[in-house]
């Protein structure tokens, strides 16, 4: 089929990188615009507001700090799973990828606990602008974590069959999934101080 962008294992002669690498970075560029737009909205809302509560007084800083440690650790374990795939060690890949997924789940559990605490005090996105931006930013980020977890789970389980057939292509997929996961970590690295500490 003409026009279909196929998988290539060696760098493309024109772009200098594989199609999947260019593809994932272009996708991440669009994600920068998505979260950038929301951060921009937050800045406008906050600077235009007559009053704005201190994040630390309303939100749970210790829990969010824990979540920051969780996501950063999961980023390390994700890159270690890629390194294992690149050195063709399937067992190590499985170990590090499983840990990455568990850490991602832990992040969501902490987040769910935070949200539940807000809901039980009758604080919802519609309560005021502070809660609206808090829930929208962390909610969209949370959805991205869920999608990353699903992709990683697929790569760990049925997707890992590709390792035996074409380990190079498989490693490329882990790298792409890793880039997405690091991006999700990056967004949180900014969300944490902006929402909770400033």
> Which residues form the interface with other proteins (CB under 8 A)?
9, 11, 15-18, 21-22, 25-26, 29, 32-33, 36-37, 39-41, 43-44, 47-48, 56, 61, 65, 68-69, 72-73, 75-76, 78-80, 83, 86-87, 168, 171-172, 175, 178-179, 182-183, 185-186, 189-190, 192-194, 197-198
Q: Which residues of 81-117 are buried (b: 16+ CB within 10 A; e: fewer)?
A: bbbbbbeeeeeebbebbbbbbebbbbbeebbeebbee
Least separation in angstroms between CB 33 and other proteins = 6
Least separation in angstroms between CB 24 and other proteins = 10
Q: Measure the CA–CA gap between 77 and 83, rounded to whole angstroms.
A: 10
Least separation in angstroms between CB 105 and other proteins = 20
Q: Measure the CA–CA gap between 23 and 179, rounded to whole angstroms.
A: 11
Least separation in angstroms between CB 122 and other proteins = 28
Nearer residue to other proteins within complex by CB, 112 or 198: 198
- DSSP string of 69-85? HHHHHHHHHHHHHHHHH
Nearer residue to other proteins within complex by CB, 43 or 150: 43
Q: Measure the CA–CA gap between 65 and 71, rounded to whole angstroms.
A: 10
Nearer residue to other proteins within complex by CB, 41 or 98: 41
Q: Which two tokens stand for residue 86?
A: 């690149």
């Amino acid at each position: 089929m003409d026009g279909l962008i196929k998988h290539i294992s060696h760098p493309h002669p024109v772009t200098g990188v594989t199609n999947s690498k260019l593809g994932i970075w272009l996708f991440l560029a669009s994600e920068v615009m998505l979260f950038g737009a929301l951060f921009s909205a937050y800045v406008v809302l906050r600077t235009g507001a007559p009053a704005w509560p201190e994040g630390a007084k309303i939100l749970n800083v210790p829990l969010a700090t824990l979540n920051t440690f969780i996501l950063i650790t999961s980023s390390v374990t994700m890159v270690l799973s890629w390194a294992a795939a690149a050195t063709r060690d399937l067992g190590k890949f499985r170990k590090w990828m499983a840990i990455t997924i568990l850490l991602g789940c832990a992040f969501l559990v902490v987040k769910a606990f935070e949200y539940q605490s807000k809901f039980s005090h009758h604080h919802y996105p519609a309560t005021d602008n502070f809660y609206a931006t808090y829930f929208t930013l962390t909610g969209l980020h949370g959805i991205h974590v869920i999608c990353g977890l699903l992709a990683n789970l697929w790569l760990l389980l049925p997707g890992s069959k590709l390792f035996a057939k074409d380990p190079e292509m498989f490693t490329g997929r882990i790298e792409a999934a890793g880039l997405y996961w690091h991006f999700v970590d990056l967004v949180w690295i900014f969300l944490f101080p902006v929402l909770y500490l400033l």
